[in-house]
A and B are shown apart, each in its own frame.
Chain A
Amino acid sequence: MNQRPIDDLARNAFVDGQLDAAQRQAMEAYLQAHPEQAQELAAWQRDAQQLRQAAGQDSLPPNPALDPAAIRARLRARTRRRLAMAGSLAAALAVGGVAGWGAHDSALAYRVLPMQDAVQAYRLFASDHAPQPDVRADAGNLQSWLDDYFAHAQRLPDLSASGFKPVAARLLATDQGPAAIVIYENAGQRASFYIRPPGPDKQMLAQGSRRDGRLLARYWSGQGYNYALVGAGDGIADAPLPAPAQAPS
């Protein structure tokens, strides 16, 4: 009776009461013919039963620290602590950043948020409560007005592919000298072209773009100035920028 016509699944399922009625009947019939195996499985069942009885005697005193409500409260407190720690870390980084800015290179700050003043200027001048522009497109040629202040700068970008036309411009001041914003309009939307002298240390910008909320800012440098195109959504995303090597007219 060394052969094992029943497999481990059947044996264990029988011991654990996992067989359905038909399977159990077949198994019992088999075990009747194989008393040795019947004895073994009966012993397994006794062992399991003994284990369950002993387990029933295991008792641990109540531990209020393990109550789910207490666990949740601790998790929340931990999250708060981590947030506070992250906050103080961010503050430390900011302090370090400001100190590093002063100590090292102010251009670093521009690299973090290039042409932030262009974005702010857009917010101011593209809003419905924009200040009066210095010059309107119907009152004079914006390009020649711009040339009076930025003689060697790149030409105004041509945004006509997305329907934008320059409509107004205004002169602004920065630490490094005059800057200007030119407002473009198409049917219902505004975009802006911003020109300014490079920041301290004559920091020039690699061509790039960044998003600020729903605004897209594209920026580049050339002819001794920094430029930015700012617009809501993707209206200006594909507009061709002036070629960097373009000579002033």
Chain B
Amino acid sequence: MIRPLRSPPPEPVSSEDDAIQTEELSDAVLRVLLPRLRRFALRLTCDPASADDLVQATLERALTRWHSRRPQGSVRAWLFTILYRQFLDSQRRSRRYARLLEWFAGADSAAPSAERQALARSSLDTFERLPEAQRTLLWLVSVEGLSYKAVADLFDIPPGTVMSRLSRARRALRGLNEGQAGVAHLRILK
């Protein structure tokens, strides 16, 4: 089934938040953006507690760094960038920690938690199977509606690279969705 191309509901988040021009990083601005940050953090960590830890670290960093922020760019993209960098840092740390644990215990400490598996079984099953960078890219563009420029800054890559990676990620997701559709189809036929 092919739906009409134009105006698919729901729209990606409009960029009205990007119009927020603010001298102070006010509580009101942060409260508006907080649900989005938590949702993005949950996508990244696949664990509600870690997600909120990540958001807390992000807000602390944002509040202490606000005054050294370069003035251009949207507040929202800036916060997402801080959150993503914090996430990558924590990933690096936990990988080191996991290696350390393995060294001592020989255990598979990187086994996915029950929560993680439950989340992966949700409606975003196929999406969850994409590599982290592709998931993040698709999420920021499709769900959060961040500009290509902001995404390029966030990943610290040239804008052209964003476009080719985006195409690749969309093709990969398509491939997974088609594969799943095929599996479901076969099951029905049985």
Residues of B within 8 A of A47 (CB): 142, 170, 173-174, 177
Taking the complex as formed, is B120 at the interface, i.e. its CB lies under 8 A from any CB of chain A? no
Kindly state the separation between the CA atoms of A17 and B55 in the bound complex, as whole angstroms: 29
Residues of B within 8 A of A60 (CB): 35, 38-39, 42, 48, 51-52
Taking the complex as formed, is B106 at the interface, i.e. its CB lies under 8 A from any CB of chain A? no
Interface stretch, picked from B83-91, B110-118, B160-168, is: B160-168
Which residue in B12, B48, B123, B174 is a CB contact (below 8 Å) of A54?
A: B123
Taking the complex as formed, is A57 at the interface, i.e. its CB lies under 8 A from any CB of chain B? yes
Residues of A within 8 A of B60 (CB): 71, 74-75
Taking the complex as formed, is B80 at the interface, i.e. its CB lies under 8 A from any CB of chain A? no
Residue contact A51 to B3, C-beta cutoff 8 Å: no
Residue contact A40 to B174, C-beta cutoff 8 Å: yes
Interface majority SS on A: helix, strand, loop or mixed? Answer: helix
Interface size class for chain B?
A: 35 or more
CB distance from A10 to the nearest CB of B (A): 9
Kindly state the separation between the CA atoms of A28 and B12 in the bound complex, as whole angstroms: 21
Residues of B within 8 A of A50 (CB): 123
Chain B residues numbered 3-19 whose CB sits less than 8 Å from any CB in chain A: 3, 5, 7-12
Kindly state the separation between the CA atoms of A72 and B56 in the bound complex, as whole angstroms: 11
Residue contact A54 to B42, C-beta cutoff 8 Å: no
Residue contact B170 to A66, C-beta cutoff 8 Å: no
Residue contact B52 to A12, C-beta cutoff 8 Å: no
Residues of A within 8 A of B35 (CB): 60
Residue contact B52 to A7, C-beta cutoff 8 Å: no
Residues of A within 8 A of B138 (CB): 48, 51
Which residue in A9, A17, A38 is a CB contact (below 8 Å) of B12?
A: A17
Taking the complex as formed, is B139 at the interface, i.e. its CB lies under 8 A from any CB of chain A? yes
Residue contact B10 to A53, C-beta cutoff 8 Å: yes
CB distance from A137 to the nearest CB of B (A): 55
Kindly state the separation between the CA atoms of A65 and B55 in the bound complex, as whole angstroms: 10
Q: Which residue of B lies closest to A13 (CB)?
A: B148
Residue contact B10 to A66, C-beta cutoff 8 Å: no
Interface centre among A8, A17, A31 (most CB of B within 10 A): A8
Residue contact A57 to B174, C-beta cutoff 8 Å: no
Residues of B within 8 A of A (CB): 2-3, 5, 7-12, 27, 30-31, 34-35, 38-39, 42-43, 48, 51-52, 55-56, 59-60, 63-64, 122-124, 127, 138-139, 141-143, 145, 148, 160, 163-164, 166-167, 170, 173-174, 177
- 30 A-B contacts (beta carbon < 8 Å): A8-B163, A8-B167, A9-B148, A11-B167, A12-B141, A17-B7, A18-B148, A38-B5, A42-B5, A45-B8, A47-B142, A48-B142, A51-B127, A51-B142, A51-B143, A54-B122, A54-B127, A55-B39, A58-B39, A60-B39, A60-B42, A65-B52, A66-B34, A66-B38, A66-B52, A68-B30, A68-B34, A69-B27, A72-B27, A75-B63
| Besides A50-B123, A51-B139, 16 new A-B residue pairs in contact (Cβ under 8 A), listed by A number | A8-B166, A12-B163, A16-B12, A39-B2, A43-B174, A48-B12, A48-B138, A54-B123, A55-B143, A56-B10, A58-B42, A58-B43, A66-B34, A67-B34, A71-B63, A75-B60
